[in-house]
Structure 1
Amino acid sequence: MVSVSASNTFSGANSIFTGGSIGSETVCFGVQKACNELLTRMKPVRDKMGSPTWLQLVQRCYEEHVNLFSQQIHHAGDLEPYDTWGMSCTEIEVDILTGKWQITRVDILEDTGESLSPLIDVGQIEGGFVQGLGYWLMEKLVYDRQTGELTTFNSWEYHVPGAKDIPIDFRVKLFQKRPNRGGFLGSKTTGELGICLSISALFALRHALNSARKDVGIDEWYHLGAPTTIEDIVLAAGHTKRDFKLNI
């Protein structure tokens, strides 16, 4: 019996952005402010009625022309800044000759305070992690050296994570029951932290390459950046032409 309308330039001409993983918190905080304002408007009517039911109170407020619509916006400073913490461990298998990889398992532990919705938070963490895999291992910007034109501008050349790039065994655990004094109802934001945790995949890849290079007696420093693509992996593995020669 309570409805929330979509935001638009009429109901919120200067609404705040939703970047920085603050969408859920700011929306919930705005709803809380709207509810408190409505309760304040309805209080005089409630006091006159004694102990009415919710429907009786709303009906009387309607009859007395109490405004039952509230519009609120999140202001900078409404919520205190705070830190979020997380841990991740990634296991990866790498085909040294082709550079192709498969993430076999990922374990993530993240501090979400008093989670507003554990299912949504887990989904946000998983999505952020997979997005980070694209940043660290796939999504490469290539420019034409003569014209400066971006050549990886569509899905044929610019590769983002797909269904088969998701870790085979993906385990996310929320570190809960740690109320966050600065967040909404003791919660903490999720989403972009998962992108930060995905760097563990790059570290796991380096361990795999270190092992392969050690097997062939290579002990030199090599660079792994963002992204380290399949081609970069092949080059970092220390191959020579002999490795690709068919011996009959």
Structure 2
Amino acid sequence: LFLHPRPLQAVQVAAKFLGIEMEMITVKPLTAFESPNNSKTGGCQGTDSVCYAVMMCCQELNRRLAPYKKKLGKSADWKSIVKTADSARVNLHHSYMFTPKDQGKPFDICGVVATEVEIDVLTGQYQICRVDLLEDAGQCISPEVDIGQIEGSFVMGLGYYTSEELVYNRETGALLTNRTWNYNPPGAKDIPADFRITLRKKAFNPDGVLGSKATGEPAFCLSCSVVFAIRNAIMSARRNAGLTETWLELNPPYTVEKIWLACNNTLDAYKLQ
């Protein structure tokens, strides 16, 4: 089998429809020789397109192998069936290209998140203390992979909304934050200290491939909760400092510098009376 770019889910689907163990399936690198029509995986369609194509291939192979399964009986193992079919010169290769006509009806992907943060008003540093996220992933093909996708997507969004600031030269337009010395994607210590992901149970999706739903990009949208949490913390700090306004113009990304400036620290606030 040539599988890409979602090998684990594709292996699970192939094993299910062929009725064999996952260990019997080998994932090989994909090149234009096997799939000249290969496309990008944007829009959370990687798993759907790959798994659907694998399912269709397996169904066709099962159709070709059906006479030999019947001939050898129910006790015949996979290797014997394939060997017999090969001896009869049965074509044991099939390819399928997923196209928009294979897509079902559009469906919604829902989720909810609660994010807790702490900010240091003296330095502008912040910590994401806890995140509780619930997402409807449909009938998961591989729950652990889905959770990993959700975690990665959410952390990617955290960087987008907090540390990954783009700075340009105002005269030439050149990008100044063009390396990791001054462009700061999230690191190991930037992820939530307590990160809890829950997948909605018994949520079969009739319009998705094998009842599943996409999990990559939706959690990115939920990461905007860090913006509101940090803003609430800043407004609380400003009220403690005696400021009474109800609105503050503060645009993401919420960098350490922006948080520190927004807290409106003054030397007088730290003098003993």
TM-score under structure 1 normalisation?
A: 0.92
Per-residue CA distance 1:123-165 (angstroms, 9 max, x = gap): 1111111111100001000000111110000000000100000
- Residue 224 of structure 2: which of 199, 202, 219 is its match? 199
Determine whether 1:140 maps to 2:156: no
What SS is found at the alignment partner of 1:113? coil
| Structure 2 match to 1:69 | 93
Alignment partners' CA distance in 2, 1:150 and 1:84: 35
- Residue 243 of structure 2: which of 206, 218, 233 is its match? 218
- Residue 231 of structure 1: which of 252, 257, 266 is its match? 257
- Alignment CA distance shift 1:33-1:119 (3 Å): same
Alignment partners' CA distance in 2, 1:33 and 1:4: 17
Per-residue CA distance 1:160-187 (angstroms, 9 max, x = gap): 1000001111111110211001111111
Q: Which runs of 5+ in 2 are unaligned?
A: 1-23
Judge conservation of contact 1:46–1:52 (CA < 8 Å) in 2.
no
**Offset at residue 106 of structure 1 (A):** 0.6
What SS is found at the alignment partner of 2:102? coil
Q: Which runs of 4+ in 1 moved over 6 A?
A: none
Alignment partners' CA distance in 1, 2:101 and 2:39: 13
Tell me whether 221-230 or 145-154 shows the greater mean CA deviation. Answer: 221-230
Determine whether 1:83 maps to 2:108: yes
| Structure 1 match to 2:35 | 12
Structure 1 counterpart of 2:54, one-letter code: V
**Offset at residue 223 of structure 1 (A):** 2.2
Structure 2 counterpart of 1:61, one-letter code: A
Determine whether 1:104 maps to 2:129: yes
What SS is found at the alignment partner of 2:169? coil
Alignment partners' CA distance in 1, 2:262 and 2:97: 51
Alignment partners' CA distance in 2, 1:46 and 1:235: 73
Judge conservation of contact 2:241–2:269 (CA < 8 Å) in 1.
no
| Structure 2 match to 1:95 | 120
- Residue 28 of structure 1: which of 51, 58, 83 is its match? 51
What SS is found at the alignment partner of 1:109? strand
**Offset at residue 50 of structure 1 (A):** 5.2
1:113-132, aligned counterparts within 5 Å? 113-132=138-157
Tell me whether 113-122 or 45-54 shows the greater mean CA deviation. Answer: 45-54
Per-residue CA distance 1:34-84 (angstroms, 9 max, x = gap): 101111222344455554623332112101111111222211131222111
Alignment partners' CA distance in 2, 1:147 and 1:12: 43
- Alignment CA distance shift 1:70-1:2 (3 Å): farther
Tell me whether 218-227 or 196-205 shows the greater mean CA deviation. Answer: 218-227
Judge conservation of contact 1:115–1:176 (CA < 8 Å) in 2.
no
Alignment partners' CA distance in 1, 2:125 and 2:253: 14
Overall identity of the aligned pairs, in %:
45
Q: Cα RMSD between the aligned structures? A: 1.9
Alignment partners' CA distance in 2, 1:26 and 1:240: 57
| Structure 2 match to 1:60 | 84
Per-residue CA distance 1:190-238 (angstroms, 9 max, x = gap): 1211111111111111110111111122233222323111111122212
Determine whether 1:175 maps to 2:193: no
Aligned length: 246
Judge conservation of contact 1:113–1:179 (CA < 8 Å) in 2.
yes
Judge conservation of contact 2:119–2:127 (CA < 8 Å) in 1.
yes
Bigger relative contact order (CA 8 A; separation at least 6): 1
**Offset at residue 118 of structure 1 (A):** 1.2
Alignment partners' CA distance in 1, 2:86 and 2:26: 16
- Alignment CA distance shift 1:183-1:46 (3 Å): same
TM-score under structure 2 normalisation?
A: 0.84
Q: Which runs of 5+ in 1 are unaligned?
A: none
